Copies of this chain bind each other. A is one copy, B any other.
Amino acid sequence: MNIYVKLPFNNSYKIFLNQLVDINIDEKVVIVTNDTVSKLHLNYLKQFIFAKQLSVCTILDGEKYKNMDTIDYILNHCFEQKLNRNSYLIAFGGGVIGDMTGFVASIYQRGINFIQIPTTLLSQVDASVGGKTGVNNVYGKNLIGSFYQPKAVYIDPFFLTTLSKKEYNSGISEIIKMAVIFDDKFFEWLKSNDLYDENNIKIAIEKSIKIKSSVVIKDEKEHGVRAALNYGHTFCHVIENETNYDKYLHGEAVGIGMNMANKLAFKLGFINIEILEDIKNLLNKYDIPTNYNIKDIYKFYDSFLLDKKSSNDKIKFILPFGIGNFKIKSDIDKQLVLDTLKEFS
Contacts and interface: CB of A to CB of B under 8 A. Distances in A.
Interface stretch (A77-85, A207-215, A278-286, A321-329): A77-85
Contacts of A68: 68, 72
Interface string A277-310: 0000000000000000000000000000110111
Interface residues of A, number: 39
Contacts of A9: 8-9
Contact of A110 (B111, B306, B308): B308
A147 B85 CA distance: 13
A137 B79 contact: yes
Majority DSSP secondary structure for residues of A touching B? mixed
A345 to B, nearest CB: 24
Given A8-B9, A27-B312, A68-B72, A146 B110 contact: yes
A294 B52 CA distance: 33
Interface of A: 8-9, 27-28, 52, 68, 72, 75, 79, 82, 84-86, 103, 106-111, 132-134, 137, 139, 142-147, 221, 305-306, 308-312
A343 B151 CA distance: 44
A86 B312 CA distance: 8
